[in-house]
Amino acid sequence: MSWRVPLTEIELAESDVEATMGVLESGWLTMGPRTQQLERAFAQSVGAEHAVAVSSCTAALHLACLAAGVGQGDEVIVPAMTFVATAHGPRRCGAEVVLGESVSVTDPNLDPADVVERITPHTKAVIAVHLCGYPADVDGLRSVCADRDLFLIEDCAQAAGGRMADGRALGSVGDLGCFSFSSKTLLGVGEGGIVVTDDADLAARVGSLRSHAMTSVTWDRHRGHAETYDVTDLGFNYRIDEVRAALAHARLTRLEPELARRRDVVRAYRQRLAALEGLELPYDDGAVDRSGHFAFPVLLGDRSVRDRVRAYMHDRGIQTSFYPSLTQFTAYAPSDVAGTRPRAEEFADRHCVLPLFPLTETRVEAVVAELSDALG
């Protein structure tokens, strides 16, 4: 269907198209100079030592878990309130996924105090998610993890460009940070992702496993050619290709201004929605200043109100969305899990994500007007 206001719109600049065409014209399509260029630029942009570009953020999370040594018999704590890919990473390593609770209904990110309660001798890692782009308390989580020798992995799929209060980039606080270049993100190239870390060993392991643990990749780079290769571990094909790397690089150079435009839209929304009866705004102005602004959630009365409002908006051509909590999925919900993560579940039930991209003021007002009508 054709939406009056879609959830998001991708804007590609002429420079993006030029970068893409340049690769196609060069005829070199995989894992070459553009991937290296992207990795260098991305590492620099988040202030990390290393970046390894991969096929998706799901792949990034899987490799981050493997690099952290997550395996069968281990437990990994992930927020109950996240996209399923966060949990698929540790699950694919054979580990058990332990669902953590949100800080509150208005801050659905992982609560460090709750994480402490869920740590067992089997716990190997914690995955913090910056949901919708809003910074999780990674400093709090980092001290929890450091005290117990656990890995902290940041899922920054929705948080490229997001910052901590002191200016550090999201993704640079934990041992490993995982980003997405999936089509709807600010750095969307179609499908893609990247892992950042300051640790050379972790980076080497991620780099090796992304391409079937073949030794000649490194060998090639250092000597200009390889006589043959060996395979030292069970790896994967999680490579990105040059076209996507070039596009991601082109978009990375525009990330700051794009983020600023989204931030303006979010502020415009919040200003107009603050006084609306029956609606609550999650997060605070400080979080808005620092968010990666992937999505703009608002809280409604309860699940039935939310579903009714969404249907109303849908009928008026305005696309909305929401994220189920993992407790709602058959794959992650044993019969006794419902109701055990009340803050995460309440956020999942009550929130509705409104259209977010560089919207005109008129369209922001149209969304707000329909939302007021739906609630009134």
Give the binding site for another protein (CB under 8 A).
Answer: 1, 3, 6-7, 20, 24, 28-30, 55-59, 84-85, 87-88, 91-92, 183-184, 189-191, 212-214, 225, 227-237, 239-244, 310-311, 314, 319, 321, 324, 328-332
Residue number, 283 or 323, with CB nearest to another protein: 323
The two tokens of residue 336 are: 């006794």
Residue number, 147 or 233, with CB nearest to another protein: 233
Our CA angle for 95, 127, 123, nearest 5°, is: 45
The two tokens of residue 116 are: 């402490």
Residue number, 254 or 308, with CB nearest to another protein: 308
198: which DSSP letter? S
Residue number, 168 or 229, with CB nearest to another protein: 229
Residue number, 311 or 338, with CB nearest to another protein: 311
329: which DSSP letter? S
Q: How far is the CB of 247 from another protein (least distance, A)?
A: 8
The two tokens of residue 233 are: 């571990």
Cα distances from 171 to residues 51, 62, 141, 176, 349, in angstroms, run 11, 16, 13, 7, 28
Which helix (H) or strand (E) covers residue 195, if one does?
Answer: strand 193-197
Q: Report the amino acid identity of residue 249.
A: H
- Asked if residues 165 and 187 have their Cβ atoms less than 8 Å apart, the reply is no
Q: How far is the CB of 353 from another protein (least distance, A)?
A: 11
Residue number, 60 or 169, with CB nearest to another protein: 60
- Asked if residues 172 and 47 have their Cβ atoms less than 8 Å apart, the reply is yes
Q: Report the amino acid identity of residue 80.
A: A
168: which DSSP letter? P
Q: How far is the CB of 97 from another protein (least distance, A)?
A: 9
Q: How far is the CB of 319 from another protein (least distance, A)?
A: 7
Residue number, 277 or 335, with CB nearest to another protein: 335
Q: How far is the CB of 81 from another protein (least distance, A)?
A: 15
Q: Output Rg (C-alpha) for the chain, integer angstroms.
A: 21
The two tokens of residue 334 are: 């044993």
Measured distance CA(80)–CA(92) in Å, rounded? 17
Q: How far is the CB of 322 from another protein (least distance, A)?
A: 8
Q: How far is the CB of 158 from another protein (least distance, A)?
A: 14
